[in-house]
Amino acid sequence: MFPLRPLLAASPRVASARSVLRGAAAGIADLLLPRVCVVCESPLAAHERGVVCGRCWTRLDGLPHPQCTRCGHPHIKHSCRWCDLLPPFIRAVRSVCWAPSGAGGAIVHALKYDGWRAAADGMAERMARLAWPIDVIEERTALVPVPLSHARLRERGFNQSELIARALASRWRIPVWTDLMSRQRNTETQTRLTPSDRLRNVAGAFDVSSSVSTRLRGAHLVLVDDVVTTAATLNACAETLMQGGARIISYVTFGRARSASDRPLS
How do residues 196-212 score in pLDDT, each as one tens digit? 555 555 656 577 877 78
Average pLDDT of the chain to the nearest whole number: 84
Domain contains 25 = no
| pLDDT tens digit sequence for 60-87 | 999 999 999 999 999 766 668 899 999 9
Closest CA to 262 of 95, 76, 105, 83: 76
Write out the residue range of the structural domain in which residue 258 sits.
58-262
**Gap between the Cα atoms of 148 and 20, Å rounded:** 43
Residue 35 lies in a domain: no
CATH code of residue 64: 3.40.50
CB atoms within 10 A of CB 143: 25
Lowest mean pLDDT among 88-97, 176-185, 213-222: 176-185
pLDDT of 266: 43
* Spatial contact of 249 and 223, defined as CB atoms under 8 Å apart: yes
- Burial (CB count within 10 angstroms: exposed 0-12, middle 13-18, buried 19+), residue 67: middle
Tell me, yes or no, whether 258 lies in a domain: yes
Q: Is residue 256 part of a domain?
A: yes
Q: Which residue has the higher pLDDT, 34 or 196?
A: 34
Query: 146 versus 203: which is more confidently predicted?
Result: 146
Q: What pTM value is reported for the model?
A: 0.81
Q: Is residue 165 part of a domain?
A: yes
- Does the pLDDT of residue 98 top 90, yes or no? yes
Could you tell me if residue 157 is inside a domain? Answer: yes
- The number of folded domains in the chain is 1
